[in-house]
A and B are shown apart, each in its own frame.
Chain A
């Protein structure tokens, strides 16, 4: 392309001064360029330096960091040489930033309209009277329905997707030439994510903007970027056209990352990438990836590879790039699929309904209380011993609430839950120790679920002491054994959770659940806080434990591909109601409930050239409808009045595959 780059980083190195006075680089020789209309994706694991690159592109460094060498140019101007005022004029004006959590970037006490007007006055010198119509026009451009009403709202009255759109509108206020997007859709539901990315793509074309996407999600990058730069330990290890990088990467690291991603089209477990990247200043003389590389040779540990040209327009830092490109596509080296043998019914939910609403005393006495529809209603499910039931749905679909009911933390309003034929008391305090032992739970974020002030031994000691009365040396030995089971060493017993990496912490959480020798393990989004490479390792561990201990899992996830890799049975939930349930192959292959179809369609796989087909608008529902199908308001295939008034019938197919929809099964 003949155009001059909008953002250009040349041999940029950023670092801090270490204890011994030496410079420790966090970024090393990063050279990147983005031209108008082009979008560049920066991917890498957490700690790879991708966010530091994005901030440096704005001429901003985190506290304690220093620019060691190199330059950052925006429109040909050296960002670090500019005066503070000039730099600030560029930021937010010609160079917009869209942060990960825009809900927190918006001022909670100002109406959306006022916040937009503020941005307009600052960057466009518009008079007050011109601001309002312009702000409304911006909201319309980001495809928010009824912009006039949105202007009057406060940020907390908007959904996550709407907040993200407002953040985009605000970034557009300064007529930017380039946008930096830091994990712009992480934390959003799949359908919302697809809509936001489609919007960004269109805006880039309309306005000829350059965009830099920073993301850990290769699926997002595949659908929004023409070029991809892969970062590892502060270096760009691969830079090239998206379709080449995603199909035939010339570096073993992105290759390993791609195999670590669970795929919708592939029911096998993803392959884990072991180890972790070297900490800043820790790498040896050779290639930073050498310790984790499957193709490592002695030469790799001695020579630091320079950026070289590789086939398909890629630039790569690898001595064996030509061999890597020539390898067969990554999917071939995945472990084979397995299904748990099915035994008796381990867990049975019958017509479970859960309601968070508790009428107040006055309302109860006056009899004035009309309870809203239950949060979760009519859930009947069963899982056989040794199998995994996946619960999928968007946020607010009641998946976690159902897990809490099974764990006895959220007593259901109606229905019953039984384990191995015995009805479970609804409250944890009423359950017998042996019943408690048999049902264990693993949580989403190990930073939250492990006590930061307990050593790993003390954490594992809690269930061991409670259920088995172990003490002293016996307890310590058993704790060490458990760490071995989750592939960690006994040397970690005296560490605190803060001294472990994210993946190690989640393994400790898994070890704690298995310390009780449970029959049923409830997994609540256990991999969504982890990097893909670590996620694959945890999934592999869970699968191993399931087979060796014959454990039953209830696996909650918003990620359909993860569920596909681990589950035998799947239930799809919308607004706390079942839409579809059945064996995993049947649910994923169809016929499907319109909602399942919508979800499957919105999943972004790390493959270029496949655009998700967007049907319904990403409206947000706050409470389930009082009657009829729960999905009536968003359904792209709504039949008519019958969907609003009558609950859809359960249509049974082969192998217990059930769909609740008014549309006949043959037409779905």
Chain B
């Protein structure tokens, strides 16, 4: 045997596969558009403090509800604040909160789903009935209750979103695991006497990882919508911090007078969500999961 073959500790497989999937995503029209939108939003969110032409707090009392002009590209709102500046800054909170909460959600939901898919039996039955019960509530309701009870703060918001959005992930990953658990390599691992943790980590996770990734992208888009809905209802970001949901809510009153106040944040929010959805779609197709995914969600 050649020593070179044995001593090489490189694991080229995973990185190369990730690169291949990424380039496949970029080659699809939906992936190219989606990923560009998402990256654009990320760049704006990072750079907006320097990009914004005005201070988002400054109220220009003589320029209230001014239509779009050379000075104010998207006009001003009812308090005389520059809409463009607020739109540029308005996605930061949403992206920060959802960007942290989504990985947390798919982590706990995914692991529990894989565990239940492997474990089966009464534990599986009981947990899944609980999942059904929670999912039967309209999602925004428990979210509002928790946020109102613990009154604000990003940490509470992140944890609440992570918990709530992890629940549908349990169901999806449990179903994906069921497709793998019945295969002979899992049976072989059980016959060898491996622990459940080993089987979950080494045999099951690599086979449902793709599903987890796609699920994460889809949960992110739902979470962004829910976050904006909370802000719209006044339970999200505290004024005067700019946020799309909240700004839409405030500008709604003057919609017939000054539609730009609503249109700016709305287009920003929907372009982000469309971007995330298109990316998720292309990712699912690149991973060959699009058909399975439709059946589950």
Chain A residues within 8 Å of B, Cβ to Cβ:
407-409, 428-429, 431, 433, 436, 440-441, 443-445, 448-455, 458, 462-463, 466, 473, 476-477, 480-481, 484, 489-491, 493-494, 496, 512, 516
Contacts and interface: CB of A to CB of B under 8 A. Distances in A.
14 contacts: A409-B191, A428-B193, A436-B192, A448-B183, A449-B188, A451-B207, A453-B209, A458-B202, A476-B6, A480-B6, A490-B2, A490-B6, A493-B5, A494-B10
Contact of A491 (B5, B13, B187): B5
Given A453-B207, A496-B13, A477 B192 contact: no
B190 A451 contact: no
A462 B194 contact: yes
Interface residues of B, number: 27
Contacts of B184: 443-445, 448-449
A34 to B, nearest CB: 40
B1 interface: yes
A329 B172 CA distance: 60
Contacts of A453: 206-207, 209
Contact of A494 (B12, B190, B194, B206): B12
A10 B74 CA distance: 73
Contact of A441 (B6, B191, B206): B191
B74 to A, nearest CB: 48
Contact of B1 (A408, A444, A490): A490
Interface in B141-179: none
B291 interface: no
Interface in B181-201: 183-185, 187-194, 198
B203 interface: yes
B129 interface: no
Contact of A466 (B7, B11, B192, B207): B192
Given A440-B192, A481-B1, 10 more contacts: A429-B193, A431-B193, A441-B188, A441-B191, A451-B206, A454-B202, A462-B194, A462-B198, A489-B5, A490-B6
Contact of A407 (B8, B191, B206): B191
Interface of B: 1-2, 5-8, 10-13, 183-185, 187-194, 198, 202-203, 206-207, 209
B193 A433 contact: yes
Residue among B187, B189, B192, B206 with the highest chain A CB neighbour number at 10 A: B192
A512 B189 CA distance: 11
A512 B192 CA distance: 10
A466 B193 CA distance: 8
A408 B13 CA distance: 35
A404 to B, nearest CB: 8
A414 B117 CA distance: 30
B192 A449 contact: no
B105 to A, nearest CB: 23
Contact of B190 (A409, A443, A463, A473): A409
Given A451-B203, A454-B202, A493-B5, A516 B185 contact: no
B107 to A, nearest CB: 19
A490 to B, nearest CB: 4
Contacts of B191: 407-409, 428, 436, 440-441
B5 A466 contact: no
Contacts of A490: 1-2, 5-6
A85 B173 CA distance: 46
Residue among B2, B5, B184, B207 with the highest chain A CB neighbour number at 10 A: B184
A567 B164 CA distance: 58
A203 to B, nearest CB: 38
B192 to A, nearest CB: 6
A417 to B, nearest CB: 14
